[in-house]
A and B are shown apart, each in its own frame.
Chain A
């Protein structure tokens, strides 16, 4: 639905623009922070002597934790891949929000491009929820792969926040889809007229 938002003097529109601009930069900042944290962790995983750069320096297992320095290199690289996917999804989510708010700032509220962003945000939330569930068992296996048989661990767990991501992601996805369909109908109507 495209609406004539050309009356820029409208104070309400100005307020919307301002708020969207702030949110855009907040999302950008979040994305940047996550890039920095991911880089620190990646360096600590590649070379454990750099662990002062990382927010975490060990893999948490059932009753113990295993510092990165004790884990063989190949297994550490596996954990690194996992971590890159994890942060990749988070950064994609923040970047997607940035794009969404930048569309809002340009006063393009109900256009297909904007509504596609909402769909993408929902998909990111679902991807994050699913990955959060599978990440724990995989990383525990990777961290204990060199242990003798019987001491290897598979940690499986499901907590409320993972479910929350899945449910909320699903809701946003459906909402985005409905709005996009509605906008498509609107657009067709206008072309036809």
Chain B
């Protein structure tokens, strides 16, 4: 009698736990999806604004480029399109990170806690983070160069700076890759062992 009672209690605890996990994972999945959609919208808007500033009434927006400022409307279309492409790539990488995180929580919601495909998401997240860190280093100099390309020689600018934030992306990205790879290997070996038994 007591055994079956305690079994019931255990079963109830287990169900409560699983429900809680599923609820949190679902919330996180949709939260990340919203962030993803927001990023897509902002990215598209920003790149459209750079290529066609007219309709957005942004012709007179001043671009701050280190030491000089320039009216957006004065920059030729081709160069604006180049900057716009850079913006699209940056936002694309952020969307990639969000997608990986979304998949991670989707797999967790499905109850795939210790499976290789769930844990491999961390390798994906790490890879995208490193890409973002590297691009972040290149974005500033490339943008100033693109914005000043048509100016006479001597006024063109190229400045390269690395700050802590970019390094942190790369360090945390590498950590994620090692972490994800280790756990995935562990999960795969555990799977194989189980099949063997």
Q: Which residues of A contact B (CB under 8 A)?
A: 1, 3-5, 7, 10, 12-13, 15-16, 19-20, 23, 97, 104, 107, 109-110, 159-161, 164, 168, 171, 174-175, 177-179, 181-185, 188-189, 192
A185 x B17 contact (CB < 8 A): yes
What residue in chain B is nearest A107 (Cβ atoms)?
B186
Write out the residue numbers on chain B whose beta carbons fall within 8 Å of the beta carbon of A10.
189
A178 x B17 contact (CB < 8 A): no
B186 x A16 contact (CB < 8 A): yes
Cα distance A183–B165 in the bound complex, in angstroms: 34
Q: Which residues of B contact A (CB under 8 A)?
A: 7, 10, 13-14, 17-18, 20-21, 24-25, 28, 101, 104, 108, 113-114, 164-165, 168-169, 172, 175, 178, 181-183, 185-190, 193-194
What residue in chain A is nearest B22 (Cβ atoms)?
A178
What residue in chain B is nearest A3 (Cβ atoms)?
B190
Cα distance A160–B175 in the bound complex, in angstroms: 20
A164 x B17 contact (CB < 8 A): no
Cα distance A168–B175 in the bound complex, in angstroms: 13
B185 x A110 contact (CB < 8 A): no
- Which of A13, A178, A189 is within 8 Å of B24, CB to CB? A178
Write out the residue numbers on chain A whose beta carbons fall within 8 Å of the beta carbon of B28.
171, 174
* Contact (A168, B185) CB under 8 Å given A23-B178, A160-B165, A161-B165: no
What residue in chain A is nearest B181 (Cβ atoms)?
A19
A188 x B13 contact (CB < 8 A): yes
Instruction: With a 10 A CB-CB cut-off, give which of A12, A159, A178 has the most chain B CB atoms.
Output: A178
**In angstroms, how far is the closest chain A Cβ from the Cβ of B105?**
8
* 5 pairs of residues in contact across A and B, judged by CB atoms under 8 Å: A104-B182, A109-B190, A110-B186, A177-B24, A178-B108
Cα distance A181–B15 in the bound complex, in angstroms: 11
Cα distance A81–B25 in the bound complex, in angstroms: 39
**In angstroms, how far is the closest chain B Cβ from the Cβ of A117?**
11
B168 x A182 contact (CB < 8 A): no
B24 x A161 contact (CB < 8 A): no
Cα distance A174–B186 in the bound complex, in angstroms: 21
Cα distance A12–B189 in the bound complex, in angstroms: 8
Write out the residue numbers on chain B whose beta carbons fall within 8 Å of the beta carbon of A171.
28, 101
* Contact (A184, B17) CB under 8 Å given A3-B190, A161-B165, A174-B24: yes
Instruction: With a 10 A CB-CB cut-off, give which of B24, B101, B190 has the most chain A CB atoms.
Output: B190
**In angstroms, how far is the closest chain A Cβ from the Cβ of B194?**
8
